[in-house]
Structure 1
Amino acid sequence: MSIEDTPVGRTLAAYAAAVNAKDVDAFAALYDDDVHIFDSWGQWQYSGIDEWRAMATGWFESLGDETVEVGFADLRSTIGDDVAFGHAAVTFTGISATGERQRAMTNRLSIGLQRKDGAWRVVHEHTSLPIDLESGSAIFSR
């Protein structure tokens, strides 16, 4: 089985598609109602799907005519009967309305999934950026 055919791989592919389409409903459907998120931007944590949905709504609306292409590298996962864990480098690339690449940044991502009622949902997600010790600034590329 390839990594793309695992619950983690399928979830991340659906994540990329939902972000690119700016589809809040498809994005939120990937997450458990009780999801706990440690995100890299602006807020210490998000608890529950309502907070995470509100974040996605604001993010997608802020893009205007731009879209975001999401790509994953170095994806690894461990799959059990009802739980799965994965980690990857995730690159977000802003694409203009005319198709030009505007900017890109790469985060580190870890996710935990749980199977409930036959469906895999993200129950925990953690993104991070390493910090340059001299400047105290986040490092946005590998």
Structure 2
Amino acid sequence: MNKLDNPILQVLEGYKAAVWAKDVDSFVALYDRDAVVFDMWRTWSYNGIASWRAMTEGWFGSLGAERVIVDFSDARTMVAAGLAVVHAFATYKAVDAGGVELRAMDNRLSMTLRQQADGWKIVHQHTSSPIAAGTAQVIFRR
């Protein structure tokens, strides 16, 4: 099944497009109003769309002229009874206005989605990276 045939993978495509465009409204529209997000940075959890919107505004606003390319690999989906789970590896690459890569990192990403009248919405998201046992340093490259 390709991305165009799989509505869950279409959500990932929407995620990529919204991040590239730094489009807060499109990004937040992917999420349920009661979404709970366990993100990698700063905050233990974001509960509800208002807190997730505030994080997104801060993230996109901090980029200035930079943009972020998101690539998902090894995405796997499972769908049953109006719920879906997707897990994938996500690579985030910051690029300058000329497209030159400035920095990059890999994350592990899991999402739970619920089918709603206006499509699939993310109700829970969890991102992580492993920790090196000897140093307690986060491993940002797969």
Superposition TM-score, scaled by structure 2 size? 0.96
* Alignment coverage as a number of residue pairs: 142
Aligned-CA RMSD value: 1.0
Counterpart CA distance in 2 for 1:130 and 1:25 is: 31
In structure 2, what is the equivalent of residue 89 of structure 1?
89
Q: Which amino acid aligns with 1:64?
A: G
In structure 1, what is the equivalent of residue 41 of structure 2?
41
How far off is 1:116 after superposition?
A: 1.5
| Structure 1 runs (4+) greater than 2 angstroms displaced | 1-5
Counterpart CA distance in 2 for 1:124 and 1:7 is: 17
How far off is 1:5 after superposition?
A: 2.6
In structure 1, what is the equivalent of residue 71 of structure 2?
71
Counterpart CA distance in 2 for 1:5 and 1:12 is: 13
In structure 2, what is the equivalent of residue 23 of structure 1?
23
How far off is 1:6 after superposition?
A: 1.7
What SS is found at the alignment partner of 1:130? coil
In structure 2, what is the equivalent of residue 51 of structure 1?
51
Paired-residue identity, %: 47
In structure 2, what is the equivalent of residue 121 of structure 1?
121
How far off is 1:4 after superposition?
A: 5.0
C-alpha contact 1:3 1:75 (8 A) present in aligned 2: no
How far off is 1:3 after superposition?
A: 4.9
Q: Unaligned regions of 5+ residues in structure 2, if any?
A: none
Counterpart CA distance in 2 for 1:4 and 1:102 is: 31
Q: Unaligned regions of 5+ residues in structure 1, if any?
A: none
Counterpart CA distance in 2 for 1:114 and 1:39 is: 19
